A = this chain, B = another copy of it.
Amino acid sequence: MNFRSDLAIENYEFTQKKELRGVKVEELNSEGCAVSRIEVLDEYGAEAVGKPKGLYVTVEVAPFAKQPHFIDGSLQVLIDEMKNMLPKKGSVLVAGLGNTSITPDALGPKCASMIFATRHIKGELLKSTGFESLRRVSAFSTGVLGNTGAEAGELIKGAVDVIKPDFVITVDALAARSVHRLGNTVQMCNSGIVPGAGVGNARQEISARTLGIPVYAIGVPTVVDAATLIYEYSEADEGVPDAATRMMVTPREIDLMIERAAKTVSLAINCALQPDISPEDMLILIA
């Protein structure tokens, strides 16, 4: 596979086959958003799609950078798909992956900073606020190996050991193959994540296998590798210059796009986790 993509849907489409052994695909339209559900059933499917066994749901939303309303149809589809995938009960740790100093990689930390953390809210306060039923949520950002000296997976493991959540959600910026996917796509899966895989810098896997509890990974494609872009359009393997491999392709409005994507995705996670709170009220709780 010459094209790097963190998106299961792109890897599936790249095969240009309608049917793949070990892969079940469902495509539908929900409130104007294209939703695809790709289920990788076994090792055959895993090899075909380049992803471990699990369910990969992709939602195409209105472009983040052109979406000043956070509360619209796209948001509700995101909330619904997250509710479908995530456990209905149990406490959760949300971990933001990525580098705050690299704009297109800052999605994870920005999201984590907008998660409605509730684990520390005591019972009495809960009652007084009328929020008796709040799910216990905690959130943090892992930083990146070059700055911390620790794998994101290690710091999550440590946090899990102490906080003892029932499951983990990771949030990360992803690499796509096609520029058409940038800033209008959210992928969620139940098989965890290998951070950096899409930019050729794979880090320690973060999954049920490594943490011992379910790991859901939510991501938004924010970059295309420059070499991938060239390769896709030139149809020539050789012409790709070495310098291009250190380049990334992003929308011009990447700074705005990241802001909006982080706000939308964190809002969707917050609402999926606390279904008794409306998006409008959640925006105020987090603001």
Q: How many copies does the complex hold?
A: 4
Query: How far, in Å, is A43 (CB) from chain B's closest CB?
Result: 30
Interface size for A (C-beta < 8 A) is: 67
A250-267 CB contacts (< 8 Å) to partner B: 250-256
A161: interface (CB < 8 Å): yes
Given contacts A119-B150, A150-B120, A154-B163, contact A103 B247 (CB under 8 A): no
1/0 per residue, CB under 8 A from B, across A57-93: the answer is 0000000000011000000000000000000000000
Q: Which of A16-24, A48-56, A237-245 contacts B (4 or more CB under 8 A)?
A: A237-245
A278: interface (CB < 8 Å): no
Selected from B120, B224, B287, the residue in CB contact (under 8 A) with A145 is B120
- Contacting pair B239 A233 (CB below 8 A): yes
Q: Which of A3-11, A27-35, A123-131, A135-143 contacts B (4 or more CB under 8 A)?
A: A135-143
A162-216 CB contacts (< 8 Å) to partner B: 162-163, 179-180, 182, 199
Which A residues form the contact surface with B (CB < 8 A)? 68-69, 101-103, 113, 117-121, 136-143, 145-151, 154-155, 157-163, 179-180, 182, 199, 224, 226, 229-230, 233-236, 239-241, 243-244, 246-256, 283-285, 287
